[in-house]
């Protein structure tokens, strides 16, 4: 017996929510064995009664700005998008976040966005998402190198300086290549046109001005979610100067960028590295882990649930429309033949 399509979608959302919940539990149990997991929640409850409670709400308030900047960056690279308002593009970004939660290197982000992207913009949107990810990677890696330079031998040791200089040089080359990509794309378009091949997949937003705009938006977004992590660390009681903490956040994000892990496993890796890094500044492991877990919940898990809800809502809407037309066609066979071109 085959379930009706609308029930299959309802079952899909239940299974997806169960998967997200199971993933969250799995991440929670990946925390270091030496940490009392209940202590994280107890620390959270205690800190909510402290004068620093507003830092948590400030972090949460920055989450929509974080993803709005990502949406603006994506749309800037796509180019002209008539009939596709910002609100719908933002929903597509949320859908990409939901799918990427389960894939390494955020690969699923492109497929998730494609689910809610109009067909007319689909090919260009995927190319723009790849370019946007490259812009974000350049900023993340560059920030990681700067964070490493700032912390220097205090936490890294002198043996790592050569790697940092090499990384900074690579970032500079990639940034230059990114900003000069428009010239290469013009030649690609000419080659495709000479061979009478389609160039529709090349976004119109890959001009020099838009590439600079995208790189600037990537930097602004990086600044926002780095600040979110800093605020959460202070909320959980870390006592250290702003610049060392921000440099540590930059270093952690830079290292994590080089590891092609799903966000959940990336969280576990970041948690261990964060405890190692900020324990040297007098941070408590429970508070450091709480801040790391909190950032995951605010910036990834919450948008993922929103994206999942949007995917299922639109799929259910399409299913209802399909069933409506199917019922109408039963009594009007001429519509069926017309729809099949007979």
State residue 224's pLDDT score. 97
Tens digits of residue pLDDT in 83-122 = 788 999 999 999 898 888 767 656 778 888 888 888 887 8
State residue 231's pLDDT score. 96
Residue 2: is it exposed, middle or buried by C-beta count within 10 angstroms (0-12/13-18/19+)?
Answer: exposed
For the chain, which ranges sit under pLDDT 50?
325, 334-342
State residue 187's pLDDT score. 57
Please report how many Cα atoms fall inside a 13 Å half-sphere around the Cα of residue 128, on the Cβ side.
Answer: 31
Distance between CA atoms of 28 and 332, rounded to whole angstroms?
56
Residue 159, both tokens: 């043996």
Q: What is the largest CA-CA distance in the chain?
A: 80
Per the CB < 8 A criterion, the answer to whether 167 and 144 are in contact is yes
State residue 341's pLDDT score. 40
State residue 67's pLDDT score. 96
State residue 273's pLDDT score. 82
Residue 191, both tokens: 């080659």
Distance between CA atoms of 328 and 173, rounded to whole angstroms?
60
CA-to-CA separations, 217 to 41, 119, 135, 180, in angstroms, rounded: 35, 26, 9, 17
Distance between CA atoms of 291 and 197, rounded to whole angstroms?
51
Distance between CA atoms of 235 and 233, rounded to whole angstroms?
5
How many residues in the chain? Answer: 342
State residue 244's pLDDT score. 87
State residue 338's pLDDT score. 40
């Amino acid at each position: 017996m085959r379930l009706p399509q609308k029930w299959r979608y309802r079952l899909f959302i239940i299974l997806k929510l169960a998967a997200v919940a199971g993933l969250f539990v799995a991440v929670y149990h990946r925390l270091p064995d030496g940490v009392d997991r209940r202590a994280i929640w107890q620390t959270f409850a205690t800190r909510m009664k402290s004068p620093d409670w507003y830092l948590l709400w400030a972090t949460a308030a920055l989450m929509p700005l974080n993803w709005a900047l990502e949406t603006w960056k994506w749309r800037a690279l796509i180019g002209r998008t008539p009939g596709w308002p910002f609100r719908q593009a933002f929903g597509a970004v949320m859908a990409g976040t939901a799918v990427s939660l389960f894939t390494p290197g955020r690969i699923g982000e492109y497929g998730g966005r494609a689910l809610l992207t109009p067909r007319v913009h689909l090919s260009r949107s995927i190319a723009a998402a790849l370019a946007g990810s490259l812009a974000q990677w350049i900023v993340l890696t560059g920030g990681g190198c700067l964070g490493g330079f700032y912390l220097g031998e205090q936490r890294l040791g002198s043996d790592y300086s050569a790697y940092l200089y090499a990384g900074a040089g690579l970032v500079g080359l990639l940034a230059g290549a990114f900003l000069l990509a428009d010239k290469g794309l013009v030649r690609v378009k000419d080659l495709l046109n000479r061979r009478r091949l389609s160039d529709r997949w090349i976004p119109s937003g890959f001009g020099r001005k838009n590439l600079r705009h995208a790189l600037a938006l990537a930097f602004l977004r990086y600044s926002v979610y780095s600040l979110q992590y800093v605020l959460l660390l202070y909320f959980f009681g870390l006592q250290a100067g702003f610049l060392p903490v921000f440099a540590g956040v930059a270093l952690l994000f830079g290292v994590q960028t080089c590891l092609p892990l799903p966000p959940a496993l990336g969280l576990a890796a970041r948690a261990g590295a964060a405890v190692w890094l900020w324990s040297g500044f007098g941070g408590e492991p429970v508070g450091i882990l709480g801040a790391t877990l909190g950032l995951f919940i605010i910036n990834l898990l919450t948008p993922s649930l929103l994206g999942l809800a949007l995917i299922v809502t639109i799929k259910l809407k399409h299913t209802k429309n399909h069933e409506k037309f199917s019922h109408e066609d039963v009594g009007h066979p001429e519509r069926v033949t017309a729809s099949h071109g007979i």
